[in-house]
């Protein structure tokens, strides 16, 4: 990312450009994008200056990063960037990093934004990953099938999976009691059928002692410390039922120096790790799985790595 002759001035403008982008995407969930762009010309001018809108006469063409397949996906993307923006404001205000475990330092708005963003991953799991993994769709279509959501946060991903697989029981675990309180609130607003099939537990994955019970386990790798991530994998492998799958969310390697440095700082502040997709895949491969597969999500976005051991 080139910052030009005056990097500070460019960075001053960057949050406003991001705000223009997020506001436009959010408005376009319920209103045609062309109408949204026309309704706020000053905001649209910011998008044009940032290269997110190209003008050809009276025609405005959005950059692909402004266009999403559907409203829920767009909303999840907005929530993820809002979470990042709120965390950046906390860092700028001098909120100390990791004083009580990373995510525990974040306010409820950040936790809700970050958690709700994971709904997009849940939809990708259900629509693209599960059907592509041998036998998994059939298993999750059976009464009594079980899914484990590690680091469930506000339970957005757990709720999506319970909706998509109406015969599955979903267990969401998290180490933060406060976030589980937020999850209970989110769950209370879901349909009764979903609410009855999602169980929330205050549990560290390192204390998971169940064996051979989960057909699918989800692990959001970037949110765990390196130590916790290394410890989690063996416990998750033993918790999988025969022919069960572990799916791990990972971040792809970033070539841009600024984005790479920001990702590293963010991981440190939130108690996460700097593993990218390659390193996570190597970690899983070292445990001798019978199969490992990768599933990109959106351009530049998370890569889901799936593995099974029997």
Give the tens place of pLDDT for each residue, 82-141. Answer: 878 887 887 888 766 544 445 666 777 777 877 787 888 899 999 999 999 999 999 999
SS3 call for 308: strand
Residue 164 carries which DSSP code?
A: H
Q: Distance between CA 285 and CA 117 in Å, rounded?
A: 28
* pLDDT at site 75: 81
pTM for this structure? 0.79
* pLDDT at site 100: 41
Mean pLDDT of the chain: 89
Q: Do the bridges between strand 59-62 and strand 53-56 make them parallel or antiparallel, or are there none, so unpaired? A: antiparallel
Is the pLDDT assigned to residue 214 strictly greater than 90? yes
* pLDDT at site 105: 65
Which position has the higher pLDDT, 268 or 104?
Answer: 268
Give CA torsion, residues 30, 31, 32, 33, to 10 deg: -90
Average of per-residue pLDDT across 160-186: 95
Tokens linked to 265? 């700082």
* Residue-wise pLDDT tens digits, 280-310: 999 999 999 999 999 998 777 789 999 999 8
Which strand (E) or helix (H) includes residue 247?
Answer: strand 240-250
* Sign, Cα dihedral of 263, 267, 272, 274: positive
* pLDDT at site 131: 97
Is the pLDDT assigned to residue 6 strictly greater than 60? yes
Q: Residue 114: what are its φ and ψ, rounded to 5°?
A: -65, -45
Q: Contact 238/292 with Cβ under 8 angstroms?
A: no
* pLDDT at site 309: 96
């Amino acid at each position: 990312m080139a910052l030009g002759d005056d990097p500070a001035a460019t960075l001053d403008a960057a949050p406003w450009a991001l705000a223009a982008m997020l506001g436009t995407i959010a408005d376009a969930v319920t209103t045609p994008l062309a109408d949204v762009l026309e309704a706020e010309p000053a905001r649209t001018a910011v998008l044009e200056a940032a290269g997110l809108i190209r003008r050809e006469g009276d025609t405005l063409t959005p950059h692909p990063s402004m266009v999403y397949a559907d409203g829920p996906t767009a909303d999840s993307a907005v929530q993820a960037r809002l979470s990042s923006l709120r965390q950046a404001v906390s860092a700028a205000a001098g909120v100390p990093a990791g004083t009580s475990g990373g995510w525990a330092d974040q306010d409820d708005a950040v936790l809700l934004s970050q958690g709700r963003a994971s709904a997009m991953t849940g939809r990708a799991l259900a629509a693209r990953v599960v059907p592509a993994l041998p036998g998994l769709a059939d298993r999750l279509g059976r009464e009594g099938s079980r899914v484990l959501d590690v680091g469930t946060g506000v339970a957005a991903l757990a709720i999506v999976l319970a909706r998509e697989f109406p015969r599955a029981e979903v267990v969401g675990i998290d180490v933060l009691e406060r976030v589980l309180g937020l999850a209970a609130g989110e769950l209370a607003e879901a349909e009764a059928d979903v609410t009855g099939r999602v169980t929330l537990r205050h549990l560290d994955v390192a204390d998971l002692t169940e064996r051979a019970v989960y057909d699918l386990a989800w692990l959001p790798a970037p949110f765990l410390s390196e130590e916790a991530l290394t410890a989690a994998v063996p416990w998750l492998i033993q918790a999988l039922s025969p022919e069960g799958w572990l799916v791990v969310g990972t971040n792809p390697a970033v070539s841009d120096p600024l984005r790479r440095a920001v990702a590293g700082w963010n991981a440190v502040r939130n108690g996460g790790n700097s593993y990218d997709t390659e390193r996570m895949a190597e970690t899983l491969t070292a445990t001798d799985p019978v199969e490992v597969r990768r599933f990109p999500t959106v351009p530049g976005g998370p890569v889901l790595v799936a593995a099974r051991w029997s």
